Amino acid sequence: MKIGIVACGAIVRELVAVAQHLGWDYELTAVPAQLHNRPEAIAPAVEKRLDAWAGRFDRILIGYGDCGSGGSLDALLERYPHALRIPGPHCYDFYGGGVFRQQAEERPGTFYLTDFLAHHFEGLVVPELGLDRYPQLRDVYFANYTDVLYLRQLPDQDESARARQAAERLGLTYREVDTGLDELVDRLKDLGCSKE
């Protein structure tokens, strides 16, 4: 089976690791992670890639959660029966699974970091929120937050130092957990994207 992957730039590394681990015959194209700051643009960006790939793959995996698209991504995918989205609202859920859901229940004021977000916090999150130009916005944006939880996917590429710095910059309590990629692998297997 030939698999096309249209993925958010924030999860490309993890999807490549899973695809190689599972021995997929695949091709991947990325959509910029910055679209999370303008989620109404996610579905149109994915649609462009799907149209460009029409007929080339047995299955196209959409490496996104809903990601704030308000259901527009799923509505788009109804027109592409061979395109399947990873189930879940966002990558925190399909990396963290039960750990994420427990944290969200017990500590709703949590800001989550993945490997990608921890690595790119200073270059992506800070300028996009304007915290570099207007540091006082931190107290507006994060007034109701209490914690940072770093969900580490690939321990050999540990981003805990950057994640701790992000927590310090935001004035929040830091915690980390190794999630690995098992939850993501299980969700992909449930979609029928595995030989196993």
- Cβ–Cβ under 8 Å, residues 26 and 2: yes
Judgement on whether residues 12 and 68 belong to the same structural domain of the protein: yes
Percent of the chain beyond pLDDT 70? 98
Give the CA-trace dihedral at 116, 119, 123, 126, to 10 degrees.
80
Q: Looking at the predicted structure, is the pLDDT value of residue 43 above 70?
A: yes
pLDDT of residue 193: 67
What does the alpha-carbon distance between residue 155 and residue 177 come to, in Å, rounded to a whole number?
10
Split at pLDDT 50, 70, 90, the class of 134 is: very high
pLDDT of residue 195: 56
The per-residue pLDDT for range 152-193, each reduced to its tens digit, is 998 888 999 999 999 999 999 999 999 999 999 999 888 876
Judgement on whether residues 77 and 7 belong to the same structural domain of the protein: yes
The per-residue pLDDT for range 93-130, each reduced to its tens digit, is 989 999 999 999 999 999 999 999 999 999 999 999 99
Does the CA dihedral 170-175-178-180 come out positive or negative?
negative
What does the alpha-carbon distance between residue 196 and residue 194 come to, in Å, rounded to a whole number?
5
pLDDT averaged over every residue in the chain: 92
pLDDT of residue 190: 82
- What CATH number should be reported for the domain holding residue 83? 3.40.50
Q: Looking at the predicted structure, is the pLDDT value of residue 35 above 80?
A: yes
Split at pLDDT 50, 70, 90, the class of 55 is: confident
**26-37: average pLDDT:** 91
Judgement on whether residues 73 and 120 belong to the same structural domain of the protein: no
Judgement on whether residues 84 and 166 belong to the same structural domain of the protein: no
- Cβ–Cβ under 8 Å, residues 173 and 147: yes
Q: Which domain holds residue 120?
A: 98-178
Judgement on whether residues 113 and 69 belong to the same structural domain of the protein: no
Judgement on whether residues 137 and 87 belong to the same structural domain of the protein: no
| Full-model pTM | 0.89
Give the CA-trace dihedral at 42, 79, 88, 171, to 10 degrees.
10
Judgement on whether residues 174 and 102 belong to the same structural domain of the protein: yes
Helices 182-190 and 12-21: crossing angle in degrees, nearest 10, is 70
Count of Cβ atoms closer than 10 Å to residue 128 Cβ: 13
pLDDT of residue 194: 59
Give the total number of structural domains in the chain. 2
Judgement on whether residues 81 and 16 belong to the same structural domain of the protein: yes
Judgement on whether residues 88 and 185 belong to the same structural domain of the protein: yes
The phi-psi region of residue 68 (left if phi > 0; otherwise alpha if psi is between -120 and 50; otherwise beta) is left
